[in-house]
Amino acid sequence: MARPPHRPAGRRPTADPRQVAIALSHDIDGDAAPTVVAKGYGDMAEKILDLAFNNDVKVRTDPDLAQILEVVEVDCEIPMEAFAAVAEILTYVYRANGRLGDERAGAADEAREGGR
């Protein structure tokens, strides 16, 4: 979930208890699938989002993907159903950070296309 675009200074609204935030980790050079490293609801989701925004971590709002990932335990790899969506997100993040070369970008695009 993403934070509202503008939040007045000094006023912190009560977190929506239905809001979920799920953090993933992935080693671009490893063979393992991305792993859920944190997840939370309501106030905990807000804390996860605050950490992400304060550390320039890319955040994406995708309720369908969140629904798939919220059943995954922390420190577990993502399920097959989430591979295509997560590959798309990671390709964007790696390109934005200049960490994905043309060869890997092509492989990630192929993986994403195969998952549709």
Is 107 exposed, middle or buried (CB count within 10 Å of its CB: 0-12, 13-18, 19+)?
A: middle
The enclosing domain of 102 has a CATH number of 3.40.1690.10
Q: Is residue 6 part of a domain?
A: no
Buried b / exposed e across 36-67, counting CB within 10 Å, b at 16+?
bebbbbeeebbebbeebeeeeeeeeebeebbe
Q: What is the pLDDT of residue 101?
A: 56
Handedness of CA 21, 27, 31, 37 (dihedral sign): negative
Name the domain count of the chain. 1
> Structure pTM?
0.65
Boundaries of domain holding 42: 20-114
- Report yes or no on 109 lying in a domain: yes
d(CA 89, CA 95): 10
What pLDDT is stored for residue 13 in this prediction? 52
Asked, for residue 77, whether it belongs to a domain, the answer is yes
Q: Output phi, psi for 41, to 5 deg.
A: -125, 155
Over the chain (116 residues), what is each successive 10-residue block's mean pLDDT?
A: 43 65 89 93 94 89 88 93 86 77 49 47
